[in-house]
């Protein structure tokens, strides 16, 4: 699951090692998700019976991983979070979820330098000016977004 971002970034500057702070922050958040998934039952993982939200752990894990996949699969330095796929296998299988999280963690260790420039298109919740489709960004900024998105979403797990 090596990404275009990783490949393009590697040509510009050396790849950072896994000790980089932004990478570590993302790896730690994803490891917390693995730890949680391994502590709950299959029924708890797939249950969507939540008092506040209409989706449970499995759907939240899928949502998180879809954002990472969009980032890691970016082409031509363009991250499009609106066009992310929805890998439903990780919603229903704890094993598939843990496997995908570990693959994501491995891919993150190969991401290029955080200063490398790119553009991103975040979720369009409606009302956005279509002329402002992509925003200037960097690998570091997107790693910050992913880490905060993962940390914010993970505590919602029952």
**What are the pLDDT digits (tens) for 70-121?**
999 888 888 888 877 777 899 999 999 999 999 999 999 888 777 777 788 7
Mean pLDDT of 138-144: 89
Tell me which architecture the domain covering 4-156 has in CATH.
Up-down Bundle (1.20)
Q: What are phi and psi of 54, to 5 degrees?
A: -95, 10
> How is the chain split into domains, by residue range?
4-156
Q: What are phi and psi of 137, to 5 degrees?
A: -155, -170
Cα(147)–Cα(158) distance, integer angstroms: 20
Cα(63)–Cα(61) distance, integer angstroms: 5
Beta strands across the sheet bearing 117-121: 78-80, 117-121, 135-138
Mean pLDDT of the chain: 79
Higher-scoring residue by pLDDT: 112, 36: 36
Number of CB atoms found within 10 A of residue 109's CB:
16
Higher-scoring residue by pLDDT: 32, 2: 32
CB 60 within 8 A of CB 44: no
Sequence-distant (≥ 6) Cβ neighbours of residue 81 within 8 angstroms: 67, 70, 71, 120, 121, 122, 123
Number of CB atoms found within 10 A of residue 147's CB:
20
C-alpha 53: how far from its chain's center? Answer: 20
């Amino acid at each position: 699951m090596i990404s275009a971002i990783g490949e393009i970034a590697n040509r510009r500057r050396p790849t950072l090692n896994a000790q980089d702070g932004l990478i570590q922050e993302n790896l730690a958040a994803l490891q917390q998700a693995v730890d949680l998934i391994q502590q709950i039952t299959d029924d708890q993982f797939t249950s969507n019976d939540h008092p506040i939200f209409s989706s449970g752990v499995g759907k939240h894990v899928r949502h998180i991983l879809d954002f990472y996949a969009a980032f890691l699969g970016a082409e031509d330095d363009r991250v499009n979070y609106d066009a992310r796929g929805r890998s439903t296998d990780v919603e229903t299988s704890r094993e598939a979820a843990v496997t995908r999280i570990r693959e994501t963690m491995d891919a993150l260790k190969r991401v290029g330098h955080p200063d490398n420039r790119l553009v991103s298109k975040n979720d369009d919740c409606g009302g956005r000016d279509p002329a402002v489709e992509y925003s200037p960004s960097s690998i570091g900024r997107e790693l910050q977004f992913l880490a905060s998105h993962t940390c914010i979403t993970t505590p919602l797990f029952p």
